[in-house]
Amino acid sequence: MMWFRQIFSWWNGQTLGTRFWTFKRGQLMGEDSQGNKYYSDRKNPKRRWVIYNGLAEASRVPPEWHGWLHQTVDETPAEAAYSPREWEKPHEPNLTGSQHAYRPAGSLVTGAPRASTAGDYEAWKPE
């Protein structure tokens, strides 16, 4: 069943074309904590791509690899001995549209009423 998904969908990992291109021209540059693998072209090192471990969602690329992927830095996080600062939080993907998305009080999804404030909007009524 995995081969079926690779032929007809790009969001469940790599397609057969990407798998072939990666095998033929790709050089593995590293892997992040989520299992995403980062490649660069053997003939043109400026060409870089990521093979996602699971759902292909761009927000799953952590900041240290984002810089390398977008050619902001030339060294991979492993080569640069990257260590996050003490104020940096661990990377989390964008949860918008999922069950784990933030829903404040008063959201249409939660159904709870929003607390009123002093400057609440009052609708215009014709006289």
Report phi then psi at 57, rounded to 5: -130, 120
Q: Which two tokens stand for residue 7?
A: 């032929």
Question: What pLDDT, on the 0 to 100 scale, is given for residue 38?
Answer: 94
For the stretch 59-113, pLDDT in tens is 889 888 999 999 998 888 888 888 888 898 887 888 888 888 888 877 777 777 7
Q: Which two tokens stand for residue 51?
A: 């093979």
What is the rounded distance in angstroms from the CA atom of residue 64 to the CA atom of residue 91?
10
pLDDT value at 15 more than 80: no
Question: What pLDDT, on the 0 to 100 scale, is given for residue 18?
Answer: 78
Which helix (H) or strand (E) element contains residue 24? helix 16-25
Question: Which residue type does 56 have?
Answer: A
Parse the chain into domains and list their residue ranges: 27-83
pLDDT value at 1 more than 80: no
